[in-house]
Amino acid sequence: MDGVVIVGILLGTLVFLIRTFLPSLFTVNQNERAVMTSFGKAQRIGNHTTLEDPISDKLRAEERERYTYPVVRVIQPGGPYIKMPWQKVYKTQVSIQTVSLAFDPENPKMNQNGTVLEAVTKDQLNTELKGQIRYKVSESNLYAYLFGIKNPIVHIMGYFHSVLRERIANFEAPQKTGTGTDTAQPIDATTTAGISINDLRKNLRDINEHMDIECASSAARYGVVLDASLITAIDPPNEVENALAAINTAYNQVSSDISVAQAAADQKIVQSKRAVEIETLKAQAETEPLNSLALQLTALKNSGPTALDTYLRYVHLGLFANAQKAIVEVKQ
């Protein structure tokens, strides 16, 4: 009986250990990072905060106190790892995610099922924005993503939408600088009150770059890195599209006519310059022998009082030698 009791105790102990510690083993996948808590408190690295990390460099001075988070120990991919019963593991994916820029995490049916974001321009024109944004969880600020904010994606999308709408509402096309023909270009006919849908379309790259700069502090704010924003289309309402198309067609025609006229004028100027150069060379060719002859005659005159007469006599003789007939004046 004693042996049976001992075996039962051993089996019970073994079952207890298996049921207690086997669930305590966990692994972390390659696209994941994990944070462990003990009695609900995340394991921290000393007293370090995110203000010491470069991700906080983009925060304004008044924001640094508000967005201060502790630096926690990040469990890297691998395993198996062991956790105690009083510990809990929080995992999150750190791979890049892509969503529509109109996506609303709280209500996916908003913004035409998350496909179009509406914004108002400076001249009170409603526009429809389409595109994508790429984001990923910041490994340097997992505390904010896991514990500091209830729903970080809601915050980051709301922040992105507010910055983008503010940019559209205050956007002004950069002024072109230049000299010569650049200053003679016609003004865009679609521009009204300093802003137009064409200005926005022609400066998509500037708008995207502005969004990247303005959202560079999102990692320090919400623990989410905005990897890139790509606004692909800015469209006016349907009732305005046809009018803008007609205006653009007329403007393009005017620009084409002006370009053709400028090309013709430039060609005529070049031809006139060449004609002047040709006539100048002809005149120089005609005067050069005369100038050379004048120099020779001057040199002969300076060489002696009879040199010039002798030269003229030999010239006359040469003329008589080549002439077929000669008319001689006879004095009566």
**What is the count of structural domains for the chain?**
2
| Residue at 180 is within a domain | no
Q: Are residues 196 and 315 in the same domain?
A: no
Q: Are residues 308 and 216 in the same domain?
A: no
User: Looking at residue 33, what is its pLDDT?
Assistant: 92
User: Looking at residue 325, what is its pLDDT?
Assistant: 75
User: Looking at residue 286, what is its pLDDT?
Assistant: 82
Q: Are residues 79 and 225 in the same domain?
A: yes
| Residue at 248 is within a domain | no
| Residue at 170 is within a domain | yes
Q: Are residues 107 and 41 in the same domain?
A: yes
Inter-residue contact 132 to 208 (CB < 8 Å): no
Domain end call among 239, 257, 274: 239
Domain end call among 203, 220, 239: 239
Q: Are residues 121 and 226 in the same domain?
A: yes
Q: Are residues 167 and 314 in the same domain?
A: no
Q: Are residues 11 and 95 in the same domain?
A: yes
Helix (H) or strand (E) holding 118: strand 117-120
200's tokens: 């926005």
Question: Domain span at residue 19?
Answer: 2-174+191-239
DSSP 237-255: -HHHHHHHHHHHHHHHHHH
| Residue at 281 is within a domain | no
Q: What is the CATH number of the domain that holds 218?
A: 3.30.479.30
Q: Are residues 43 and 161 in the same domain?
A: yes
| Residue at 318 is within a domain | yes
Q: Are residues 213 and 70 in the same domain?
A: yes
What stretches of the chain show up as alpha helix (H) in DSSP?
Answer: 2-21, 110-114, 142-143, 152-170, 197-202, 204-214, 218-222, 238-303, 307-322
From first to last of its 332 residues, the chain has per-residue pLDDT tens of: 566 667 667 777 766 655 655 567 888 999 999 999 999 899 999 899 999 989 888 888 888 888 899 999 999 998 788 888 888 999 999 999 999 988 988 888 888 888 888 888 887 888 888 999 999 999 989 999 999 888 888 888 888 999 888 988 888 776 655 444 444 444 444 444 344 677 788 888 888 888 888 888 889 988 999 888 888 888 876 666 666 666 667 777 888 888 888 888 888 898 888 888 888 888 888 888 878 877 877 877 777 777 777 777 777 777 777 777 767 777 66
User: Looking at residue 238, what is its pLDDT?
Assistant: 66
| Residue at 269 is within a domain | no
User: Looking at residue 192, what is its pLDDT?
Assistant: 40
